[in-house]
Amino acid sequence: MYQIKKAEVLANNIYLMDVEAPRVAKHCEPGQFVIVKIDEKGERVPLTICDYDREAGTVTIVLQTIGASTEKMAHLKEGDYFRDFVGPLGCASEFVNEDIEELKKKNILFVAGGVGAAPVYPQVKWLHNHGVKADVIVGSKTKDLLILEEEMKAVAGNYYPCTDDGSYGHAGMVTSKIEQLVNEEGKKYDLCVAIGPMIMMKFACLTTKKLEIPTIVSMNPIMVDGTGMCGACRLQVGNEVKFACVDGPEFDGHLVDFDQAMKRQQMYKTKEGRALLKVQEGDTHHGGCGHCGGDE
């Protein structure tokens, strides 16, 4: 059992929790994720690691209510427990293995959409703690839905909030802010990291490709099982088939086939769609977790 040490509401339907999980906290790195279960019959829910404290043995997660399991999790309070808290899973951000002095020479831009601020924050914090500055764009529909603002300001070189309705910060999409920084303010970036809803990552990549900025994306929004068994997170990256949970979740955004991934995600929601995908994809589909029908 894994005790919740802190639970708070960040915004409407978005919740933050610090969970006591010493083994995970000891080994996790920015970019990785955990799988949590609320009880024995609960759904396995993959959640990005938002922060961690190795000394305290805690891991911070951020969840958004999108289904029955996350709705139940949202009602958990300080002192309550998760039955399972498995991790760290996935591959760490590539920054972790790079030479720090070389990183300091790069101009890096992070672009977060909505709850994507949660996985962006630990990466920016890690860079900040190693003396590397990075600019951060965070977008949301309204000001009330922006999360982790103060935390992000504390570690970002420059922080640029954007709201679709113009209620705060830059009025418009994150893509228009990227173009403004580069085309109007003369910013030059060696790398962009974009994390958020798939549609946002798609258009962020179209923008950065036009601006000739190499871009990394995190494909955690398409994970279901989190172990590579169910095949839900199957995607095309260039000429290769990859699975976000075991090969990623980070990939070269200019090589990801977002249209295929979004279409596949919609098909995966129905039993008929899963059956069709299994036929179309053959051995590369995977199956056996109970979610995709591969074990029927």
Residues 42 and 111 in one domain: no
Q: What domain range is 115 assigned to?
A: 98-218
In a domain, 6, yes or no: yes
CA–CA separation, 105 and 188 (whole Å): 12
Q: What confidence category does residue 1 fall into, taking pLDDT thresholds of 50, 70 and 90?
A: confident
Confidence of residue 288 (pLDDT cuts 50, 70, 90): very low
Do 72 and 120 lie in a common domain? no
Give domain status of residue 7, yes or no: yes
Query: If we measure between CA atoms, which residue out of 184, 174, 181 comes closest to residue 206?
Result: 174
pLDDT in the model for residue 115: 87
Report yes or no: 173 and 194 within 8 Å, Cβ to Cβ.
no
pLDDT tens digits, one per residue of 227-245: 666 667 778 889 888 877 7
DSSP 67: S
Domain assignment of residue 200, yes or no: yes
What is the pTM assigned to this prediction?
0.83
Same domain, 32 and 56: yes
* CATH number for the domain that contains residue 116: 3.40.50.80
| Residue ending a domain, choose from 56, 89, 122 | 89
3-state secondary structure at position 193:
strand
For residues 212 and 170, state if they share a domain: yes
Residue 293 has pLDDT above 70, yes or no: no
Domain boundary among 218, 252, 280: 218
Contacts 24+ apart (CB under 8 A), 202-209: 202/258, 202/259, 202/262, 203/173, 203/175, 204/111, 204/113, 204/174, 204/175, 204/178, 204/253, 205/253, 205/254, 205/256, 205/258, 206/175, 207/175, 207/178, 207/179, 208/178, 208/253, 208/254, 209/254
Last residue of a domain, one of 156, 183, 218: 218
Contact predicate 18/28, CB 8 Å: no
Q: How far apart are CA 169 and CA 250, in angstroms?
A: 28
CATH of the domain at 55: 2.40.30.10
On the question of pLDDT at 285 being above 70, the answer is no
CA 132 to each of CA 53, 98, 102, 181, 241: distance values in angstroms, whole numbers, following the listed order: 20, 12, 10, 19, 33
Which residue in 224, 206, 192 sits closest to 123, CA to CA? Answer: 192
The predicted structure's pLDDT at residue 295: 40
Percent of residues, the chain, with pLDDT higher than 90: 53
Same domain, 117 and 194: yes
Considering its fold, how many domains does the chain have in total? 2
Residue 289 has pLDDT above 60, yes or no: no
- 51-100, pLDDT tens digit by residue? 999 999 999 999 888 777 888 888 999 999 999 998 898 888 888 888 99
Residue with more model confidence, 295 or 109: 109
Given a cut of 70, whether residue 129 has pLDDT beyond it is: yes
Per-residue pLDDT band for 296 (boundaries 50, 70, 90) equals very low
What is the pairing mode between strands 108-113 and 134-140? Answer: parallel
102 & 214 share domain: yes
Going by their DSSP bridges, the two strands 158-163 and 170-171 should be labelled as: parallel
pLDDT at 95: 87
The pLDDT confidence band at residue 174, using thresholds 50, 70 and 90, is: very high
282 inside domain: no
pLDDT score of 290: 41
Tens digits of residue pLDDT in 11-23 = 888 999 999 999 9
Please report the DSSP string for 91-121 in residue order: PPPGGGGS-HHHHTTS-EEEEEEGGGHHHHH
pLDDT of amino acid 176 = 94
85 and 109 in a single domain? The answer is no
Residues 208 and 103 grouped into a single domain: yes
What was the pLDDT predicted at 280?
Answer: 60
Tell me, yes or no, whether 13 lies in a domain: yes
Question: Which pLDDT score, from 0 to 100, does residue 291 have?
Answer: 44
Q: Is residue 249 part of a domain?
A: no
